A = this chain, B = another copy of it.
Amino acid sequence: MIASARPVHALLIAIMLALAGPGDLLADEAGTKAPAENAVASFELDNGLQVVVIPDHRAPVVTHMLWYKVGSADEQAGKSGIAHFFEHLMFKGTKNHPPGEFATRVAEIGGQENAFTSYDHTAYFQQVRPEALKTMMSYEADRMRNLVLTDEVIDVERNVVLEERRQRVESSPGALLGEELDATLYQNHPYRIPVIGWMHEIEALNRDDAVAFYNRFYVPNNAVLVVAGDVEAEQVRALAEATYGKIARGPDLSARLRPQEPEQNTRRTVTLSDDRVSRPSLRMAWVVPSYETGAPGEAEALDLLSEILGGGPRTRLYEELVVRQGVASSVGAYYQGDAVDDTSFELYGAPRGQAALEEVEDAIVAEIAKIAAEGVTEKELARAKRRYQRGYVFARDSQSGMARIYGTTLTTGGSIEDINEWPARIKAVSAEQVKQAAQALDQGRAVVGYLLPAQSQEDDAR
């Protein structure tokens, strides 16, 4: 049960590129076929549940993922953390099954399960033998509507979540800085609020909040079922109708219209000086379009810019800061493309040895400026696109990777058509578009987070 704020979009692109690539890319070393694009089936049950089936017959395994179109950004103001808290509650008992029975069952049959909550979605998944799929569906459908939410259940789990927050956030200066950086980057949109929720608001979550959340969002017409693996579409349809199909459609949900960001006119910094920090580091962020909000090609260009700047070794930041100048021990870029609303583009780095954090910052700024002024070469653009493709060799081994692509896209406002068109859209990105993307990363509107050892605060904080 993790509150992941970071779905791996690069992976998505990687797999999609590969799917649309030349045929030989679709065969792995053993020569078996990866799931072909046209084999993916999609249909909707009468109660509104959207179903996607991704046949993958390489092994007798099936990945069963149920995605809800609700994440922390859909929470009511003042109730931060309820989406993630609710993910925990889904592992409690139902009217039909005592607490722990579902998990025990998964373990008994040698399966794996997990769940995660992000800004825009919450997902539950199990990976099991195909014979167990119906059982999984039956349990998953059961807890969609039959959870037993008593004060006692809530009280116990609240403590678990609070402890999770203490371990993952309160005890980590980097996580604390990250939270306050996000809340400074976004000033109106709920992406400013941590997925796990703020301590004082988690503490106040109660049974009424949980019940209201459950009844509003945990309905078949707000969910997407993704099944990948050694199954066929019609088989899945029959199983889905026999399980999920028996659940009544819930009330219609209103559109996910979150408050949007105002115009940003300022540069902002957030500094955490903490004696638990031994090595300083920085993060530099901007609000940028997502795949959902961007004009055609904008998000794709940001993905490639992220790859060119900081996608790994042989990228600009690494080559310049780590290899050539030797001022950074680590550096990178991150773009959260899958998002219902405008999202974040981030660069980060830490100095090496005696180098100052400011040298790292200046060098990062210089690399952005260089692309903004001179653009990227066709060669490195092609290399960036190829890097996505190479990622496929790793990615296709993960059946759940495919399921994640569909789940993430379909719960953040995208369509199966978007997924199909993705590879072509990435391929179509021009060097000029990447240059324009870099030009939008204006220093006058950057939001920079500094993580500093306690003693250096006076010197570096401004």
Q: Which of A80, A270, A457 has the most CB of B within 10 A?
A: A270
Asked whether A268 lies within 8 Å of B269 as measured between CB atoms, the reply is: yes
Asked whether B265 lies within 8 Å of A268 as measured between CB atoms, the reply is: no
Asked whether B265 lies within 8 Å of A272 as measured between CB atoms, the reply is: yes
- Chain B residue nearest to A190 in the complex (CB): B77
A293 near B: Cβ within 8 Å? no
Asked whether B188 lies within 8 Å of A269 as measured between CB atoms, the reply is: no
What residues of chain B lie closer than 8 Å to A80, measured between beta carbons?
Answer: 188, 259
Complex Cα gap A257–B201 (Å):
12
Asked whether B448 lies within 8 Å of A259 as measured between CB atoms, the reply is: no
- Chain B residue nearest to A448 in the complex (CB): B462
Contact pattern, A 144-180, Cβ under 8 Å of B = 1, otherwise 0: 0000000000000000000000000000000011011
Taking a contact as CB atoms closer than 8 A, the residue among B184, B201, B268 that contacts A259 in the complex is B201
A353 near B: Cβ within 8 Å? no
What residues of chain B lie closer than 8 Å to A200, measured between beta carbons?
Answer: 260, 262-263
> With A187-B184, A188-B198, A448-B462 in contact, do A78 and B257 touch (Cβ < 8 Å)?
yes
A322 near B: Cβ within 8 Å? no
- Which chain A residues in 257-290 approach chain B with CB under 8 Å? 257-260, 262-274
Asked whether B266 lies within 8 Å of A268 as measured between CB atoms, the reply is: no
- Chain B residue nearest to A182 in the complex (CB): B187
What residues of chain B lie closer than 8 Å to A176, measured between beta carbons?
Answer: 265-266
Asked whether A193 lies within 8 Å of B188 as measured between CB atoms, the reply is: yes
A192 near B: Cβ within 8 Å? yes
> With A262-B198, A262-B200 in contact, do A461 and B77 touch (Cβ < 8 Å)?
no
Complex Cα gap A272–B271 (Å):
18
Complex Cα gap A462–B450 (Å):
11
Asked whether B262 lies within 8 Å of A273 as measured between CB atoms, the reply is: no
Contact pattern, A 443-462, Cβ under 8 Å of B = 1, otherwise 0: 11000100000000100011
Complex Cα gap A266–B117 (Å):
26
- Chain B residue nearest to A187 in the complex (CB): B183
The interface size of chain A toward B, counting residues with CB under 8 Å, comes to 42
A257 to chain B: closest CB distance in Å? Answer: 7
A25 near B: Cβ within 8 Å? no
> With A187-B183, A187-B184, A192-B187 in contact, do A199 and B270 touch (Cβ < 8 Å)?
no
- Chain B residue nearest to A264 in the complex (CB): B180
What residues of chain B lie closer than 8 Å to A262, measured between beta carbons?
Answer: 179, 183, 198-201
> With A187-B183, A259-B78, A457-B444 in contact, do A273 and B268 touch (Cβ < 8 Å)?
no
Complex Cα gap A461–B200 (Å):
33
Asked whether A78 lies within 8 Å of B462 as measured between CB atoms, the reply is: no
Taking a contact as CB atoms closer than 8 A, the residue among B192, B260, B269 that contacts A462 in the complex is B269
Asked whether A270 lies within 8 Å of B268 as measured between CB atoms, the reply is: yes
Contact pattern, A 412-450, Cβ under 8 Å of B = 1, otherwise 0: 000000000000000000000000000000011000100
Please provide the 7 A-B residue pairs with the shortest distance between their CB atoms, ordered closest to farther. A183-B187, A78-B259, A198-B262, A267-B271, A269-B269, A180-B266, A266-B270
- Interchain residue pairs with CB less than 8 A apart (15): A78-B260, A80-B259, A177-B266, A180-B268, A183-B187, A187-B192, A200-B260, A266-B270, A266-B271, A267-B457, A267-B461, A268-B269, A269-B462, A273-B444, A361-B462
